[in-house]
Copies of this chain bind each other. A is one copy, B any other.
Amino acid sequence: MNPDWEELLQLATQWVAKYRSQVGSLPVLAQVQPGWLTAQLPAAPPAEGEPPEAWFADLDRLILPAVTHWNHPGFLGYFGITGSPPGVAADLVSSALNVNGMLWKTCPALTELEQVVLSWYAQALGLPGSWFGMITDTASTSTLLALGAARERALPGTRDRGLQGAPRLRLYCSQEAHSSVDKAAMVLGLGRDNVVRVPADAQFRMQPELLAAAVHRDRQEGYLPFAVVATVGTTSSTSVDPVPEIAEVCRENRLWLHVDAAYAGSAAVAPEFRWALAGCELADSFVANPHKWLFTPIDCSCLFTAQPEAFRQAYSLVPTYLTTDVAGAVDLMDYSFQLGRRFRALKLWFVFRAYGTKGLAEIIRKHVALAQEFAGWLEASKDFELLAPVPFSVVNFRWHPQGLDDEKALAEANQRLLHAVNASGRVFLSHTTLKGRFALHLAVGNMETDRKTVEKAWWEITNAAQTLGFS
């Protein structure tokens, strides 16, 4: 009954090699309507097994048309990403090993490689290699875990007593911080209302003096400030909060400092981008995602902490059936609410070994240069304008035809432009809002994205603008 390993993996390998060589010729954005795939699939599971050829044929027939191709060089929305060949090969090994690293003993290699490779990653970014590191599925989980540890440090015993009757904890981040900060507050029982969003400056950076004032005011009103989330590379504009000044406010007020560098943290493998992580060595916890901009397949979010004991105090709980007799070993389940974990470190290990820090820095540099070049074309154009600085590989801009100055009309025009560009199937951009202005958001993060891709994007944009009129 059991199909042959080699035969199946050969089929999968052939399928993948063909797919990855052709992906650039597929529409970036899936062209199907909601329900299309559901309608094609049997409503009930098969009673009898089918031959492998049938499943693989359905990947082409049913899955591919309904995939939005994050691998397409023209995928320039959100944060462009790359599942590089070494990362994917390692992930296959991980799937096949199929270990569960809840305890050191249940897979020493998983536990120790995760520690070592995360230390490599921290060092590659110029951060302390001595930090404790672990891999989670998403930055949302990493930030939730970090703020849970911060909550327990602020109010020891909350894990047992709960928050009912506790002082009203408050948490700070900038207006531009990611929604995962709110979601963490929701899950942790703190409440969104206790997430104080500190105003950002003209360049979308948290204003530390306004942070200090908010903390001071909250204390006077009986709240208990306990943590700040600073962002290095915000989701919309990739702005960098002034972490050294924020860290100082945290030090003075004994607040936990968590840094969300999910996207931009990896840029610091290139020394010229280390400035962005200034002050981060003072953080209590720090997250950066190799699955965003270090060419590692999803899912790989790296959570670092200078306070591993705070995580243990927040999360460790060892039932009898999970006790071990191994002294001096880290059991990763003690640092998280998740018990089981997949062997995710392998893929990051292979990425470092394949490219080396120099090779990784080269790719980062190329991506930033492409974004800067694109920004230059915008600035030289009379009909487009930049809406934010471009410190990394993301450009926020809008179509601004001469004479069209009503904000609502501009938003509508840009929405139509975006829709037209994305409907082409050749490139894909996303959108955001910056200071109330609707912005088109172009992000370079795919290894296959080159100058031709960015030129094509510019052509699609200007061509769609011409077709839509005004200019």
Q: Do A297 and B44 contact each other (CB < 8 Å), given the known contacts A160-B191, A319-B179, A320-B432?
A: no
Question: A114 CB to closest chain B CB, in angstroms?
Answer: 10
Which of B120, B192, B236 is within 8 Å of A44, CB to CB?
Answer: B120
Asked if A113 is an interface residue, CB under 8 A from chain B, the answer is yes
Asked if A52 is an interface residue, CB under 8 A from chain B, the answer is yes
Cβ–Cβ < 8 Å partners of A59 in chain B: 93
Cβ–Cβ < 8 Å partners of A100 in chain B: 70, 78, 81, 298
Q: Are A98 and B298 in contact (CB under 8 A)?
A: yes
Q: Are A180 and B339 in contact (CB under 8 A)?
A: yes
Contact with B along A80-107 (1 / 0, CB 8 A): 0111111111111101111110001111
Q: Are B354 and A235 in contact (CB under 8 A)?
A: no
Cβ–Cβ < 8 Å partners of A322 in chain B: 179
Q: Are A52 and B354 in contact (CB under 8 A)?
A: yes
Q: Do A2 and B85 contact each other (CB < 8 Å), given the known contacts A148-B187, A328-B34?
A: yes
Q: Are A70 and B84 in contact (CB under 8 A)?
A: no
Q: Are A183 and B15 in contact (CB under 8 A)?
A: no
- The residue of chain B having its C-beta at the shortest distance from the C-beta of A340 within the complex is B138
Q: Do A68 and B107 contact each other (CB < 8 Å), given the known contacts A148-B187, A164-B168, A338-B141?
A: yes
Cβ–Cβ < 8 Å partners of A47 in chain B: 356-358
Question: A103 CB to closest chain B CB, in angstroms?
Answer: 9
Q: Are B98 and A83 in contact (CB under 8 A)?
A: yes
Q: Which among A164, A323, A353 has the greatest number of chain B C-beta atoms within 10 A?
A: A164
Bound: A413/B312 CA distance, A: 32
> Which of A35-43, A209-217, A368-376, A455-463 contacts the other chain?
A35-43
Q: Are B104 and A320 in contact (CB under 8 A)?
A: no
Asked if A431 is an interface residue, CB under 8 A from chain B, the answer is yes
Q: Do A321 and B141 contact each other (CB < 8 Å), given the known contacts A49-B354, A105-B68, A190-B162?
A: no
Which of B45, B78, B121, B315 is within 8 Å of A352, CB to CB?
Answer: B45
Question: A235 CB to closest chain B CB, in angstroms?
Answer: 6
> Which of A4-12, A248-256, A273-281, A383-391 contacts the other chain?
A4-12
Which of B3, B138, B358 is within 8 Å of A86, CB to CB?
Answer: B3
Interface size class of A (residues with CB under 8 A): 35 or more
Cβ–Cβ < 8 Å partners of A340 in chain B: 137-140, 291, 298-299
- The residue of chain B having its C-beta at the shortest distance from the C-beta of A44 within the complex is B123
Q: Do A353 and B159 contact each other (CB < 8 Å), given the known contacts A13-B6, A100-B70, A141-B338?
A: no
Q: Are B356 and A46 in contact (CB under 8 A)?
A: yes
Asked if A284 is an interface residue, CB under 8 A from chain B, the answer is no
Which of B82, B88, B162, B357 is within 8 Å of A46, CB to CB?
Answer: B357
Q: Do A112 and B37 contact each other (CB < 8 Å), given the known contacts A105-B29, A159-B186?
A: yes
Asked if A144 is an interface residue, CB under 8 A from chain B, the answer is yes
Asked if A326 is an interface residue, CB under 8 A from chain B, the answer is yes
Bound: A179/B192 CA distance, A: 28
Q: Are B115 and A38 in contact (CB under 8 A)?
A: yes
Question: This chain: how many copies in the complex?
Answer: 2
Q: Are A113 and B179 in contact (CB under 8 A)?
A: no
> Which of A16-24, A200-208, A302-310, A397-405 contacts the other chain?
A16-24
Cβ–Cβ < 8 Å partners of A161 in chain B: 191, 193
Cβ–Cβ < 8 Å partners of A89 in chain B: 8-9, 11-12, 52
Cβ–Cβ < 8 Å partners of A377 in chain B: none
Asked if A76 is an interface residue, CB under 8 A from chain B, the answer is no
Asked if A182 is an interface residue, CB under 8 A from chain B, the answer is yes
Question: A422 CB to closest chain B CB, in angstroms?
Answer: 10
Cβ–Cβ < 8 Å partners of A64 in chain B: 109
- The residue of chain B having its C-beta at the shortest distance from the C-beta of A109 within the complex is B66
Q: Are A6 and B17 in contact (CB under 8 A)?
A: yes
Q: Do A356 and B49 contact each other (CB < 8 Å), given the known contacts A140-B339, A192-B160, A299-B340?
A: yes
Asked if A433 is an interface residue, CB under 8 A from chain B, the answer is yes
Q: Are B235 and A321 in contact (CB under 8 A)?
A: yes
Asked if A124 is an interface residue, CB under 8 A from chain B, the answer is yes
Which of B83, B192, B342 is within 8 Å of A159, CB to CB?
Answer: B192
Cβ–Cβ < 8 Å partners of A406 in chain B: none
Asked if A128 is an interface residue, CB under 8 A from chain B, the answer is no
Asked if A48 is an interface residue, CB under 8 A from chain B, the answer is yes
Q: List 16 A-B contacts (CB under 8 A).
A: A5-B21, A8-B88, A16-B93, A36-B112, A38-B116, A41-B113, A48-B359, A49-B355, A55-B86, A68-B106, A78-B100, A164-B168, A188-B188, A235-B321, A298-B342, A323-B431
